[in-house]
Chains A and B, each alone.
Chain A
Amino acid sequence: MWIDPSQAVARALVTHGHADHARSGHGTVWATPETLAIMALRYGTEMGTPVPYGDGFEANGVKISFHPAGHVLGSAQILLEHAGERVIVTGDYKRRHDPTCAAFEPVACDVLITEATFGLPVFNHPPIEDEIRKLLDTRNAHPDGCVVVGAYALGKAQRVIAELRRAGYDAPVFIHGAMQKMCDLYEAHGVSLGELIPATGLAKGELRGGIVVAPPSALNDRWARRLPEPVTAMASGWMRVRQRARQRNVELPLVISDHADWNELTGTLLELRPSETWITHGRTDALGRWCELHQLKARALDLVGREDEDEG
Chain B
Amino acid sequence: MQAFAALVDALVYTRSRDAKIRLIADYLRATPDPDRGWALAALAGTLNIATVKASAIRAMAEERFDPLLFRMSRDYVGDTAETVALMWPDQQTAKAPPSVAEIIDLLNATSRARAPSVLAELMDRLDADGRYALLKLATGGMRVGISARLAKTAFAQGFGLSVDDVEEVWHALRPPYAELFAWGEGRAERPNLADSAFFRPFMLAHPLDDGVVDLSEFAAEWKWDGIRIQIAATGTETRLFSRGGDEVTAAFPEIAATFTGIGVVDGELLVRGDVQGGEAASFNALQQRLGRKTVTAAMQAEYPVFVRLYDILFDGAEDMRGLGWTQRRDRLERFAAGLDPARFDLSALIEARDFDHLAELRGAAREAAIEGVMLKRRDAPYLAGRKVGLWYKWKREPLVADCVMMYAQRGSGKRSSYYSDYTFGCWGEDGTLLPVGKAYSGFSDTELKWLDRFVRTNTVARFGPVREVEKTLVLEVAFDAVHESKRHKSGIAMRFPRISRLRRDKPAEEADKVATLKAMIG
Could you list which residues of chain A lie within 8 angstroms of chain B, going by C-beta atoms?
120-124, 126, 240-247, 249-253, 283, 285-286, 289-290, 293, 309
Contacts and interface: CB of A to CB of B under 8 A. Distances in A.
A241 B14 CA distance: 15
B417 A124 contact: no
A87 B313 CA distance: 79
Contact of A122 (B12, B68, B73, B413): B73
B13 interface: yes
A243 B69 contact: no
Given A123-B86, A283-B72, 12 more contacts: A121-B73, A126-B128, A242-B9, A242-B79, A243-B77, A243-B413, A246-B12, A250-B13, A283-B76, A286-B72, A289-B66, A293-B66
A244 B77 CA distance: 8
B12 A242 contact: yes
Given A121-B87, A247-B414, A289-B66, A252 B13 contact: yes
B78 interface: yes
A285 B72 CA distance: 8
B409 interface: no
Contact of B73 (A250, A252, A286, A293): A286
Contacts of A290: 66, 69
B72 A243 contact: no
B69 A286 contact: yes
Contacts of A121: 65, 69, 73, 86-87
A124 B85 CA distance: 11
Residues of B in contact with A, size category: 20 to 34
Contacts of B69: 120-121, 286, 289-290
A242 B135 CA distance: 15
B416 interface: yes
The 3 A-B pairs with the shortest beta carbon distances in the complex, nearest first, are: A122-B86, A286-B72, A121-B87
A241 B414 CA distance: 11
A128 to B, nearest CB: 15
A122 B76 contact: yes
B86 A124 contact: yes
B83 interface: yes
B87 A122 contact: yes
A244 B65 CA distance: 23
B417 A247 contact: yes
B468 interface: no
Contacts of B68: 289
B9 to A, nearest CB: 8
B82 interface: yes
A293 B66 CA distance: 9
Contacts of A286: 69, 72-73
A244 B413 CA distance: 9
A245 B73 contact: no
Contacts of B14: 251
A215 B128 CA distance: 28
B416 A243 contact: yes
18 contacts: A121-B87, A122-B86, A124-B128, A126-B128, A241-B77, A243-B78, A243-B413, A244-B416, A244-B417, A246-B12, A246-B414, A247-B417, A250-B13, A253-B13, A283-B72, A286-B72, A289-B68, A293-B66
A242 B13 CA distance: 8
Contacts of A309: 417
Q: Which of A240, A242, A245 has the most CB of B within 10 A?
A: A242
A124 B76 CA distance: 15
Nearest to A290: B69
Given A121-B73, A283-B72, A285-B72, A240 B86 contact: yes
A289 B72 contact: yes
A247 B412 CA distance: 12
A136 B72 CA distance: 35
Nearest to B72: A286
Contacts of A247: 414, 417
A253 B12 CA distance: 11
A129 to B, nearest CB: 14
* Residue from B13, B86, B87, B90 with most neighbouring chain A CB atoms (10 Å): B13
A243 B79 contact: yes
B414 A120 contact: no
B80 to A, nearest CB: 12
A82 B132 CA distance: 49
A302 to B, nearest CB: 15
B86 A246 contact: no
A126 B132 CA distance: 15
B76 A241 contact: yes
A167 to B, nearest CB: 20
A139 to B, nearest CB: 16
Nearest to A122: B86
Contacts of A250: 13
Interface string B2-20: 0000000100111100000
A120 B417 contact: no
Contacts of B73: 120-122, 286
B92 to A, nearest CB: 15
Contacts of B416: 243-244
Nearest to A231: B13
Given A243-B414, A246-B414, A122 B13 contact: no
A123 B87 CA distance: 8
Contacts of A244: 416-417
Nearest to A239: B13
Nearest to B79: A243
Nearest to B10: A251
Contacts of B13: 242, 245-246, 250-253
Interface in B47-78: 65-66, 68-69, 72-73, 76-78
Instruction: Identify which of B14, B66, B132 gathers the most chain A CB atoms within 10 Å of its CB.
Output: B66
A290 B73 CA distance: 13
Nearest to A232: B13
Nearest to A245: B13
A253 B9 CA distance: 10
A290 B413 CA distance: 26
A150 to B, nearest CB: 14
A218 B297 CA distance: 65
A304 to B, nearest CB: 14
A115 B313 CA distance: 65
A206 to B, nearest CB: 25
B82 A241 contact: yes
Contact of B77 (A122, A124, A253): A122
A245 B76 CA distance: 14
B416 to A, nearest CB: 5
